[in-house]
């Protein structure tokens, strides 16, 4: 399972619908987003199945997403204080 940021998805959608040149390593599909593209542009959500239910490692996902998006030239405004652990969310 992969988390694809909305900006990445919208960029992909625009390229696919308009059949524009792209730098994706995998084939672009106009009607859906292939798993190979999700692997390429997304962040994997790690999980483990315990008997019946799934356990998702959301703290690890949040850490990876914060790190990934803080490395961008123009990081988005966030309501999460990155100086605290991912379990401490600022409520405004």
**Residue ranges per domain, the chain?**
2-70
**pLDDT tens digit sequence for 11-30:** 989 988 888 888 888 888 88
Question: What global pTM score does this model have?
Answer: 0.53
Tell me which residue has tokens 């998702």: 56
Q: DSSP code of 90?
A: P
**pLDDT tens digit sequence for 27-59:** 888 888 888 888 998 899 887 777 777 788 888
The rounded radius of gyration (Å) of the Cα atoms in the chain is 16
Residue 47: strand, helix, or coil: strand
């Amino acid at each position: 399972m992969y988390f694809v940021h909305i900006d990445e998805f919208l960029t992909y959608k625009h390229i696919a619908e308009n059949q524009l040149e792209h730098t994706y390593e995998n084939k672009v599909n106009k009607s859906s987003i292939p798993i190979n593209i999700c692997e390429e542009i997304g962040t994997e959500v790690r999980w483990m199945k315990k008997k019946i239910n799934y356990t998702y490692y959301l703290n690890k996902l949040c850490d990876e997403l914060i790190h990934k998006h803080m490395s961008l030239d123009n990081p988005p405004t966030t309501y999460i204080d990155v100086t605290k652990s991912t379990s401490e969310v600022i409520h405004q």
